[in-house]
Chains A and B, each alone.
Chain A
Amino acid sequence: DQQVKQNSPSLSVQEGRISILNCDYTNSMFDYFLWYKKYPAEGPTFLISISSIKDKNEDGRFTVFLNKSAKHLSLHIVPSQPGDSAVYFCAATRNTDKLIFGTGTRLQVFP
């Protein structure tokens, strides 16, 4: 049973527009959420995170929103750039070091 779900395998966005990547989770005990970005032939790199006591965290062009009642989080990238083209993984944890990952969403930003 998948506890972290990314239902959109791919997303295509024009450069300069907003990219919105979504993630749903089933375990209400998760208390920390992370987004990772992965280029081909490289390991994932940490992008941004949010604690369950917050509903928004912003870092430059990246903002993560958390809706606990809906068990949903989203990553907004504004403005999108071609270098943002990568696979984005959502991950969650329940006060441990074990991260539960989603299956990833491939973002393509075109000119």
Chain B
Amino acid sequence: EADIYQTPRYLVIGTGKKITLECSQTMGHDKMYWYQQDPGMELHLIHYSYGVNSTEKGDLSSESTVSRIRTEHFPLTLESARPSHTSQYLCASNEQGPAYEQYFGPGTRLTVT
């Protein structure tokens, strides 16, 4: 059973606000990921990390930033939210080694008004 958590589950916020989406996992996984998904569309990788102090940008350009200070925690921050940031944000993790199956959190549905 995968244990990966995201908070908040839903967030409605005004334009210009700074927000942080939280993601935590208790499996000790070194590798963590952030995806963005719009309805009816594919999941797009926006950030990933292979361990503490390691972060990389994904295939989809994003104005968000991430940090990885602890193995279990991988928060995503938007300094100034805009309506174009409205989307679902999904966090995932997996083990080291040749393991491609990623475990996903429940997601955060963000709406910027």
Contact = CB atoms under 8 A, between A and B. Distances in A.
Contacts of A22: none
A103 B105 contact: no
A46 B103 contact: yes
B102 interface: yes
Contacts, number: 58
Contact of A103 (B4, B31, B42, B59): B42
B96 to A, nearest CB: 10
A98 B42 contact: no
B103 A99 contact: no
A103 B41 contact: yes
Contacts of B101: 34, 46, 49
B90 A4 contact: no
Interface size class of A (residues with CB under 8 A): 20 to 34
A100 B60 CA distance: 11
A45 B104 contact: yes
A76 B27 CA distance: 31
B42 A93 contact: no
Interface string B25-59: 00000010100000011111100100000000011
Nearest to B43: A101
B106 interface: yes
Listed residue (B6, B94, B101) with the most chain A CB atoms within 10 angstroms of its CB: B101
B59 A44 contact: no
Given A42-B107, A43-B107, A44-B90, A99 B102 contact: yes
Contacts of A104: 40, 42
Given A42-B106, A43-B107, 15 more contacts: A32-B100, A34-B100, A36-B104, A41-B9, A43-B6, A43-B92, A43-B104, A46-B102, A89-B42, A97-B94, A99-B43, A99-B45, A99-B100, A103-B41, A103-B42
Interface of B: 4, 6, 9, 31, 33, 40-45, 48, 58-59, 90-92, 94, 100-107, 109
Interface of A: 2, 4, 9, 32, 34, 36, 41-46, 49, 89, 93, 97-104
17 contacts: A4-B42, A34-B101, A41-B9, A43-B91, A43-B107, A49-B100, A49-B101, A97-B48, A98-B48, A98-B58, A99-B43, A99-B45, A99-B100, A99-B102, A101-B43, A102-B42, A103-B42
